[in-house]
Amino acid sequence: MKEIRKTAHETQCLGCTLANMEMDAHVVYEDNFVTCILDHDPFNEGHVLILPKGHFRFIDEFDADAAAALMAAAQLLSRAVRAEFAPDGISICQNGGSFDDLTHFHMHVVPRMQDQDFSSFYTDEVWDNGDLKAKLPETRERLAKLVEEMTAV
């Protein structure tokens, strides 16, 4: 495994700060390459962000190890979210370039419910999710425990 080293730019990157746990976040899983946290503004309960620990803006910049870790985390988190929250489906998406408010690659794992309009995910519409924000610590505890059980082999 490669050691992750940060450049001067990366020390000022919000995504790097979150991925390397230099800022408080609701971490549900991490390995040598990625950190998975609950979104601070969740679309639904269990909405997770997967962030590489190395600084990448775009998926085509990933090395093979980081790409494999990202996909393994997406599979693991999708499985855990389905088991814990029983959504009707999951959307996995990523917004790059000027659409990326972290200036750092991150992938969303979003639990979805039938008949729920997902278009607001891509607009500036404010979601009525105060109840979900209030229970982020509880959600983190539940999801992190399940992920730990799933990875204990």
Distance CA 99, CA 110 (A): 17
Per-residue pLDDT, 76: 98
Q: What contacts 56, CB < 8 A, 6 or more positions away?
A: 62, 66, 104, 105
Residue from 64, 115, 109 nearest 88 by CA: 115
Q: What is the pLDDT along the chain (153 residues), one digit of tens a residue?
A: 444 555 434 457 999 999 999 999 999 999 999 999 999 999 999 999 999 999 999 999 999 999 999 999 999 999 999 999 999 999 999 987 778 888 899 999 999 999 898 998 888 889 999 999 999 999 999 999 999 999 997
Residue 139 located in a structural domain:
yes
Residue 78 located in a structural domain:
yes
Residue 1 located in a structural domain:
no
- How crowded is residue 130: how many other Cβ atoms within 10 Å of its Cβ? 8
User: Which tokens belong to 14?
Assistant: 């919000």
CATH number at residue 73: 3.30.428.10
Count of the separate structural domains present in the chain: 1
Quote the domain boundaries for residue 41: 10-117+126-151
Instruction: State in Å, rounded, how far the first CA of the chain is from the last one.
Output: 21
Residue 4 located in a structural domain:
no
Distance CA 46, CA 87 (A): 10
Per-residue pLDDT, 8: 39
Residue 144 located in a structural domain:
yes
Residue from 13, 33, 12, 37 nearest 24 by CA: 37
Residue 141 located in a structural domain:
yes
Residue 3 located in a structural domain:
no
Q: pTM value?
A: 0.90
Residue 35 located in a structural domain:
yes
Q: Extract the runs of DSSP E, i.e. beta strands, from 8-120.
A: 27-30, 34-38, 48-52, 89-93, 107-112
